[in-house]
Structure 1
Amino acid sequence: MGRSSDAPVLGGPCVRGPGDGDRGRARLSGPVKRIDVIVAVRDEEASLPAFLARMDALDLPPGVELSLRFVEDSSRDGTRPLLRRLARERPDVGYWMLESGFGQGLALSFGLARSTADAAIVLDVDGSHPPEAIPELVRGYLDGARVVQCVRRSLSGRPAWRGLGALAFHTMVRIVTGVDLRSQNVYYRLMDRSVIDSFLKVPRYWRYVRFPLPTGPGAVRFVPVDTHERSLGASKYGPLRLLGLSVDGILTAMETRRLVFNTGIAALAVGALFAAGAWPLALAGVVAAAAVVVRFVGLRRPAALARMRVAESAGTGEAM
């Protein structure tokens, strides 16, 4: 961002949903809805000022109190000092600083577990998820939707190899799991309290932050968004980390009966390789299958959030 963490804070609190002053309060017809915006951050000193400026410019519907909750996940730049200053200067900002890094998905799930708001919005801070969609998410929630899900309509600035990888991933998910995740091609969404509570009961959803959307008339509303590949800061995802995230995504969507079926197919393939004398390939297949099963079981262990320890927090209403 070209600024140190001592630079002036951009804008002011974005808790403007009920309106400013007595005129705004007079428009309220019911209790104020509290919505937490939960963002996982690691080395995002360059992204935060622009993100806050865009948040402060939002024209929110009346009757909403929006708070920013950052889950800091082992930053090495000036993110931590900046968050401390923001929490001192802005009543709508709070943060949890984790003792060690756990990754974006678990950090977001941790924030959801700590939130006590009526609803929460999860999004990225780097400019790839446009905050300008938030008023529409909030309106959908106020109209009765339990989930208001952003769907990426276009994406500019992405390298060709990542675009091909995304296409291959969604194809593989449909083939291997029978689940179509294209309606959740971004995790940017609003979830009401009932959906948050249901999400937190299923550990396998915590790392990839995708899950079966609720059913029923009006339960889900989709909001198309035009996005751009990260516009600020540096990406934390190289090819190997993206591969690991893709595996987690596939295993998150996979039911146990599908794993048993796919493992059976893999066993037949490994047996055929052994019979053909292709021992190296057969052994590699055994190792890969075992690794997949171990990861599948690991994603379903409920202890992940319990292991996450907070080194420091402020502005969250919690006692340390």
Structure 2
Amino acid sequence: MASPKLSVIIPVHNESENIAPLCARLLPVLNRITSLWEVIFVDDGSRDDTLARIRTVNHDEPRIGAVSLSRNFGKEIAIAAGLDHARGDAVVIMDADLQHPPEMIETFVERWKEGNLMVYGQRTDRSDETRVKRGFAHLFYRLFARFGEIPLPEGAGDFRLIDQRGVEVLRSLGEKARFSKGLYAWIGFKSTGVPFVVEERLHGTTKWSFRKLFRFAFDGMAAFSTVPLRIWTYLGFLISFMSIATAVYFLVRTLLFGTDLPGFPSLIVSVMFFSGIQLMSLGIIGEYVGRIFAEVKRRPLYVVQERLGGAAEVSSSLVQDDPRLRRA
């Protein structure tokens, strides 16, 4: 524990301008902690010269390696690929844009030595985000805490340290629609948070549009809750009760005042309303069926195009041990 072997996983997608500045800040931190470290960049189908710049730093520092995926599989899958190739007694996951300060890794390691098997960075300030984005983020955490299988610490993301025991459990989870935040909480183990302030992005722009964030939030809710399915059951009971109450109302009105001419607009509105309800419920069911379809196909999580540095050295043993990598 005094000199742990540390792995740092950094998923990258079109981050060529950030590679050199990140290494300039990260490597001194790692050298202060231990000489037994490795950095694994996971190139998630970058279209720029990200991989070429990683090769350059690998030439100067062999402890920096890379796993290049054959296409863009998404950040969640890239993290899974990095975990599969990490060899350290502890694994740190961080972004390449320097919004996750590398100096925090020293604090992570200190908390790990105290007996915490997972140490996560917990952002304390969202002033850089719009009010709408902050509101939706807060709403998501509240809904997940209310309806999800397990609570999520608000402000915790992928920036964290995970003990090798936790990494082994995460490697065994081969689900395709991955929501890493939920998986980190689901595996349990003793955890603690370390507050930090998100720094300005050094180069480039964020890859997370509002549409992608909404999709990501829905994936998380669907992966750890069946509430979206149950909502339509409750809504069906409510609409049925309202229809019975409406029928009783018209029956009494007809007996007391006679029959009046029914309105065509109200009929059209009713048909369109209930048609929309049915289509929405079928859409939610379709989302869950689609996830089942993706799981039963048993395709590998990712396909590796090239391995560089330490990742290449361990690739043969990983392929023998992990059936997912054997298929990849």
Q: TM-score, normalised by structure 1?
A: 0.78
Give the corresponding residue for 1:311: 305
**Using a 3 Å threshold, how does the CA distance of structure 1 residues 273 and 206 change in structure 2: closer, same or farther?**
closer
**Using a 3 Å threshold, how does the CA distance of structure 1 residues 309 and 41 change in structure 2: closer, same or farther?**
same
Q: Secondary structure at the match of 2:124?
A: strand
Give the corresponding residue for 1:50: 21
Between 230-239 and 36-45, report the one with greater CA deviation: 230-239
The answer to whether 1:207 aligns with 2:178 is yes
Q: Displacement of 1:44 after TM fit?
A: 0.3
Which has the higher Rg, Structure 1 or Structure 2?
A: 2
| Aligned amino acid, residue 318 of structure 1 | V
For each residue in 1:255-311, what CA deviation from the matched residue of structure 2 results, as whole angstroms up to 9, or x when unmatched? Answer: xxxx1x55233134246558554233223322322233135536766946x241111
In the alignment of these two chains, the number of paired residues is: 283
Structure 1 vs Structure 2 CA RMSD: 2.8
Between 261-270 and 143-152, report the one with greater CA deviation: 261-270
Between 183-192 and 309-318, report the one with greater CA deviation: 183-192
Give the corresponding residue for 2:120: 149
Matching residue within 77, 81, 96 for 2:67: 96
**Using a 3 Å threshold, how does the CA distance of structure 1 residues 158 and 264 change in structure 2: closer, same or farther?**
closer
Q: Displacement of 1:147 after TM fit?
A: 0.9
The answer to whether 1:188 aligns with 2:159 is yes
The answer to whether 1:294 aligns with 2:294 is no
Between 199-208 and 45-54, report the one with greater CA deviation: 199-208
Give the corresponding residue for 1:15: none
Percent identical pairs in the alignment equals 20
For each residue in 1:53-111, what CA deviation from the matched residue of structure 2 results, as whole angstroms up to 9, or x when unmatched? Answer: 22134276555522110110111112121112222221220001101111001100111
Which residues of 2 match residues 1-320 of structure 1 at below 5 A?
32-58=3-29, 62-63=33-34, 65-177=36-148, 179-183=150-154, 185-204=156-175, 207-210=178-181, 211=183, 212=185, 219-228=190-199, 230-254=201-225, 259=226, 262-270=228-236, 277=271, 278-297=273-292, 303=298, 306-315=300-309, 316=311, 317-318=313-314
Q: Displacement of 1:225 after TM fit?
A: 0.9
**Using a 3 Å threshold, how does the CA distance of structure 1 residues 123 and 268 change in structure 2: closer, same or farther?**
same
Q: Displacement of 1:117 after TM fit?
A: 1.8
Looking at secondary structure, tell me which structure has more helix per residue. Answer: 2
Query: Structure 1: where are the runs of 5+ without partners?
Result: 1-29
Between 281-290 and 46-55, report the one with greater CA deviation: 281-290
Give the corresponding residue for 2:267: none
Query: Structure 2: where are the runs of 5+ without partners?
Result: 244-269, 317-328
Between 171-180 and 295-304, report the one with greater CA deviation: 295-304
**Using a 3 Å threshold, how does the CA distance of structure 1 residues 60 and 35 change in structure 2: closer, same or farther?**
same
Give the corresponding residue for 2:324: none
Q: Secondary structure at the match of 2:96?
A: coil
For each residue in 1:22-60, what CA deviation from the matched residue of structure 2 results, as whole angstroms up to 9, or x when unmatched? Answer: xxxxxxxx7842111001100001222221122134276
Q: Secondary structure at the match of 2:72?
A: coil
| Aligned amino acid, residue 206 of structure 2 | S
- Residue 98 of structure 1 contacts residue 310 of structure 1 at CA under 8 Å; is this kept in 2? yes
**Using a 3 Å threshold, how does the CA distance of structure 1 residues 308 and 204 change in structure 2: closer, same or farther?**
closer
| Aligned amino acid, residue 144 of structure 1 | G
Q: Displacement of 1:312 after TM fit?
A: 1.1
Q: Displacement of 1:115 after TM fit?
A: 1.6
Give the corresponding residue for 1:9: none
Q: Distance in 1 between matches of 2:113 and 2:200?
A: 30
Q: Distance in 1 between matches of 2:2 and 2:107?
A: 20
Q: Secondary structure at the match of 2:16?
A: coil
Q: TM-score, normalised by structure 2?
A: 0.76
Q: Secondary structure at the match of 1:207?
A: coil
Q: Displacement of 1:206 after TM fit?
A: 7.0
Q: Displacement of 1:319 after TM fit?
A: 5.2
